């Protein structure tokens, strides 16, 4: 295979890529032909890690994935426009992609799936009424399946899409970083280990005002988020205040979206024991006159009852039923009549 690294951008620009392993943020050092950790590698040596992309004309830039990188893993690729004479950390990010590399070629499976392949899901839809077998119709069927999975994933807080392992490191005097986790829908709690309570989220306006009129340095206490896109890929930037006076790592929870299925061999990350709900969602949407273009049928009482049943079976733990507090005559002595009232109510 070739040209695994590719991005579309403005004409006649100097574009390069940085490749990092998703599991531990190791960076591919072109000069050393090795994956290196922060400490061995640092931001001042960014020009040792850039992979220049070839301008193919028409705004398409591409290059082969590093052939010497034989470590099978998921890699995050960040594309930059070089603004100066050499690569620098201040260069403009113009795109991102995720590559599943098996050591020799790009894998056809975007993630460690455990469910049906895209081809199998297409067959299910065709059996239940999808009749357009043209090239355009087959492509639209893939979109229909992906949109159904995406909408279904947001009907309940499914455990596999909630993560507690998000991390981002800010260097000294650096108050902005792009989060490397892919498919982020929303950020939950953000903490640093030397602070008793989580950081407080505020708006971008508040961040701008504080950073411009009350500039200072120290351990970050507030953060703001900016969600945008680069070449069609979702990107989330985090801003912190005040600017860190030393390198600071923040930890966060986040909710992600399902992996997008592109190839017929791609497997959905929707789990096997809940495939019945995905198949039911596809059948429910197909049964409507317009193939339920807005997904309204999935919000019906009947379908949401099925979602509730599936979610109860999927929850890894159950919170106890919390009773309302009861008044007591003295510590350790509850009023029997009050207890009876609470039980009755």
Cβ 98 vs Cβ 42: under 8 Å: no
> What are the domain boundaries of the chain?
5-101, 118-154+258-314, 159-256
Owner of token pair 């951008």? 9
Helix (H, G, I), strand (E, B) or coil at 161: helix
Average pLDDT score over residue span 333-342: 45
Give the residue from 73, 79, 66 showing the smallest Cα distance to 24. 73
Q: pLDDT (tens digit, 9 = 90+) per residue, 88-126?
A: 988 998 888 878 777 666 654 444 444 688 888 999 999
* Per-residue pLDDT tens over the stretch 160-199: 888 888 999 999 989 999 898 878 888 999 999 999 999 9
Q: What is the pLDDT of residue 112?
A: 41
Question: What pLDDT digit, counting tens, does each position of 251-303 carry?
Answer: 999 988 888 888 887 888 888 888 899 999 999 999 987 788 888 899 999 99
As a dihedral over the C-alpha atoms of residue 69, residue 112, residue 237, residue 20, rounded to 10 degrees, the angle is -10
CA distances (Å), origin 30, targets 66, 88, 93, 201, 233: 8, 15, 19, 38, 25
How confident is the model over 201-213, as pLDDT tens digits? Answer: 999 999 999 999 9
Q: Which fold has domain 5-101?
A: Immunoglobulin-like (2.60.40)
């Amino acid at each position: 295979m070739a040209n695994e690294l590719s991005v579309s951008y403005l004409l006649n620009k100097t574009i390069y890529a940085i490749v990092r392993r998703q599991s531990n943020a190791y960076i591919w050092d072109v000069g050393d032909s090795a994956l290196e950790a922060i400490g061995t590698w640092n931001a001042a040596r960014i020009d040792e890690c850039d992979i220049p992309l070839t301008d193919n004309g028409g705004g398409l830039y591409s290059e082969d994935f590093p052939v010497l990188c034989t470590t099978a893993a998921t890699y995050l690729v960040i594309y930059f426009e070089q603004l100066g004479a050499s690569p620098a950390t201040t260069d403009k990010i113009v795109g991102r992609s995720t590559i599943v590399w098996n050591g020799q070629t790009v894998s056809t499976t975007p993630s460690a799936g455990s469910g049906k392949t895209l081809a199998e899901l297409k067959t299910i839809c065709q059996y239940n009424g999808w009749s357009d077998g043209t090239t355009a119709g087959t492509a639209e069927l893939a979109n229909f399946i992906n949109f159904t999975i995406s909408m279904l994933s947001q009907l309940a807080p499914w455990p596999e899409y909630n993560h507690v392992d998000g991390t981002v490191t800010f260097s000294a005097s650096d108050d902005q970083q792009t989060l490397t986790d892919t498919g982020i829908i929303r950020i939950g709690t953000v903490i640093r280990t030397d602070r008793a309570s989580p950081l407080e989220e505020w708006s971008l306006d508040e961040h701008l005002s504080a950073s411009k009129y009350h500039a200072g340095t120290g351990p970050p206490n507030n953060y703001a988020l900016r969600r945008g896109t680069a070449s069609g890929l979702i990107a989330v930037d985090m801003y912190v205040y005040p600017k860190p006076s030393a390198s600071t790592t923040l930890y966060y929870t986040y909710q992600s979206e399902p992996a997008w299925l592109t190839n017929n061999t791609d497997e959905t990350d929707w789990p096997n024991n809940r495939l019945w709900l995905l198949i039911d969602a596809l059948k429910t949407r197909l049964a409507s006159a317009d193939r339920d273009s807005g997904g309204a049928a999935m919000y019906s009482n009947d379908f949401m009852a099925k979602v509730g049943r599936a979610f109860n079976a999927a929850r890894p733990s159950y919170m106890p039923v919390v009773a309302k507090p009861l008044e007591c005559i003295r510590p350790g002595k509850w009023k029997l009549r009050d207890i009876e009232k609470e039980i009755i109510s």
